[in-house]
Amino acid sequence: MDARCPAGTCVLVAAMIEVLGALAGGASSPVRAGRRVGGEPFVCVRGDGPYAFDATGRRYIDYVMGYGPLLFGHTPPFLRDLDALAARGVVFGSTSPDELALAERIRTHLPSMERLRFTTTGSEAVQGAVRVARAFTGRDLVLKFAGNYHGHFDLALQDAGASAETPDAHRSGIPRALLDDLIVARYNDLDDVDRHLARAGDRLAAILVEPICGNMGLVETVPGFLDGLQARARRHGALLIFDEIITWLRLGLGGAQTRVGVTPDLTTVGKVLGGGFPLAAFGGRADVMAMLAPDGPCFTGGTHAGMPFAVALGLRVLDTLENDPESLLATNRRAGALAGGIRRILGDLALGYAVLQLESIVDFKFRSGSPTRSYDDQRRDDQRAYAAFYHAMRERGVLLPPSHNEVMFLSTAHGEADIELTLHAIEDSLSELRSKGTI
């Protein structure tokens, strides 16, 4: 019997893997199928604080954290009294007072969102931002960056990061005609942007960018890049859209835009906002958002957009962050300790990989040299080594994302003991990889 499979539970695991067959590709979102790292996909039966549990009851320290939303772990205190929330109804089909209150509070923290609209997913939020930018400018062309990820609508997917490998539009079901209205430039490279824009004339509607990217590993922008994008957007009569679906709240209540000191025309937020429930929003300049129906001709909406249940959780998320800033700071310090520990281990093994940490996000790639600046850098990392590392860590009870493009997300629930155990697992795993000649 497999030592990790107590009596009877292997059958259960096998049955669950069998059931995956009913899901297209074995997952509702491709990365979860784990094809990038091979082996059996992780099937999560339940979560508790910083931990995920498989069908055998085995506990893993979880650094996937739902791909970002779980800033407070799997079971934060604000998930109390959900019955009371459900008892007042979960979807009204009309505007609710909580929705107005949440919009007001978001605007307090992100003043650039003078007007905003709620959506269910981040994909819809970015799609809405792009559409309203096109409606406002009366133009079609959008410039975005290889390796950024903005969701799963057509335009966003071309050459996207995260788990979307879609360099061939036609085979991916992306209309080829759409590519006439899309420029994909190199991240952190204003010369490349200028080369593309030289051919854009007066067709540019928007520049869409992750101001700090979390979808080709963690990538910060070089000084001047975002200001440069803003200047170019203005020069071309176009709008600048910051996709802050990962960064807002993860990097604090002011998001990336406060940190980098550049104010976009439009912003998208999501992930942490819903406290684990699906909730996102897009918003920005009042004159641009006035294009939205019913004030203007640009339609976005949805049955579940701004649903009261998720909005109530959004208010609880903001309460938590506003009332207890220390717990987030403590989390960021623990992330710093994790990053510092990884640097020490890599140093001991004479591995020259860059380790990055921003607030509660930690990342390193299997590639020596300077940190990733663009998707071209990221494509040079050793995916085979990452796959081996993923499995070595999983065997040691630590769950990492099953794709080298993703990052490690910590939560306020990750304690010092979890960080220590994780560092031991990293040390052991990398030593094993070294002894096998993988790295």
Ligand X SMILES: Cc1ncc(COP(=O)(O)O)c(C=O)c1O
* Residue 264 found at the interface with ligand X (CB under 6 A): no
Alpha helices by DSSP H, listed for 158-296, are 190-197, 225-235, 247-250, 255-260, 286-289
Beta-carbon contacts of 428 under 8 Å, excluding residues fewer than 6 positions away, are 392, 396
Comparison of 219 and 439: residue with beta carbon closer to ligand X: 219
Nearest 5°: phi and psi at 116?
Answer: -140, 165
Catalytic residue flag (residue 149): yes
Three-state DSSP class for 145?
strand
Residues 51-80 that bind ligand X (CB under 6 A): 67
Comparison of 274 and 308: residue with beta carbon closer to ligand X: 274
State the Cα–Cα distance between residues 77 and 49, nearest whole angstrom. Answer: 10
State the Cα–Cα distance between residues 156 and 49, nearest whole angstrom. Answer: 33
Catalytic residue flag (residue 51): no
Interface with ligand X: number of residues (CB under 6 A): 16
Beta-carbon contacts of 47 under 8 Å, excluding residues fewer than 6 positions away, are 53, 62, 70, 73, 74, 75
Smallest separation, CB 14 to ligand X (Å): 30
Three-state DSSP class for 113?
coil
Q: Which of 33, 118, 123, 312 binds ligand X (CB under 6 A)?
A: 123
Question: Going residue by residue from 80 to 99, which x/- string records binding to ligand X, judged by CB under 6 A?
Answer: --------------------
* Residue 334 found at the interface with ligand X (CB under 6 A): no
Catalytic residue flag (residue 144): no
Catalytic residue among 63, 149, 187, 353: 149
Comparison of 49 and 69: residue with beta carbon closer to ligand X: 69
Q: Which stretch binds ligand X (CB under 6 A): 76-84, 115-123, 131-139, 200-208?
A: 115-123
* Residue 251 found at the interface with ligand X (CB under 6 A): no
* Residue 250 found at the interface with ligand X (CB under 6 A): no
Q: Which stretch binds ligand X (CB under 6 A): 36-44, 227-235, 242-250, 326-334?
A: 242-250
Q: Which of 61, 103, 126, 355 binds ligand X (CB under 6 A)?
A: 126
Comparison of 405 and 429: residue with beta carbon closer to ligand X: 405
Q: Which of 215, 300, 360, 429 binds ligand X (CB under 6 A)?
A: 215
* Residue 270 found at the interface with ligand X (CB under 6 A): yes
Smallest separation, CB 181 to ligand X (Å): 20
Per-residue burial over 74-97, b = 16 or more CB atoms within 10 Å of its CB, e = otherwise: bbbebeeeeeebeeeeeeeeeebe
Distance of CA 107 to the CA centre of its chain: 21
State the Cα–Cα distance between residues 227 and 220, nearest whole angstrom. Answer: 14
399 to 52, 60, 61, 353: CA distances (angstroms): 8, 6, 6, 21
* Residue 163 found at the interface with ligand X (CB under 6 A): no
Smallest separation, CB 29 to ligand X (Å): 8
Catalytic residue among 189, 271, 386, 390: 271
Smallest separation, CB 135 to ligand X (Å): 20
Sign (positive or negative) of CA dihedral 145, 146, 152, 156:
positive
Angle of CA points 78, 80, 84, to nearest 5°: 120
Q: Where are the beta strands (DSSP E) in 127-260?
A: 141-145, 182-185, 204-209, 239-243
Q: In what order do the strands lie in the sheet with 182-185?
A: 115-119, 280-284, 266-269, 239-243, 204-209, 141-145, 182-185
Q: Which of 121, 188, 221, 357 binds ligand X (CB under 6 A)?
A: 121
Q: Which amino acid is at 145?
A: F
Smallest separation, CB 63 to ligand X (Å): 15
Q: In what order do the strands lie in the sheet with 51-53?
A: 46-48, 51-53, 59-62, 398-399
Q: Which of 117, 150, 186, 394 binds ligand X (CB under 6 A)?
A: 150
* Residue 243 found at the interface with ligand X (CB under 6 A): yes
Nearest 5°: phi and psi at 292?
Answer: -75, 140
* Residue 159 found at the interface with ligand X (CB under 6 A): no
* Residue 161 found at the interface with ligand X (CB under 6 A): no
Residues 280-319 that bind ligand X (CB under 6 A): 280
* Residue 246 found at the interface with ligand X (CB under 6 A): yes
Catalytic residues: 149, 243, 271
Contact positions vs ligand X (CB under 6 A): 67, 121-123, 126, 149-151, 162, 210, 215, 243, 245-246, 270, 280
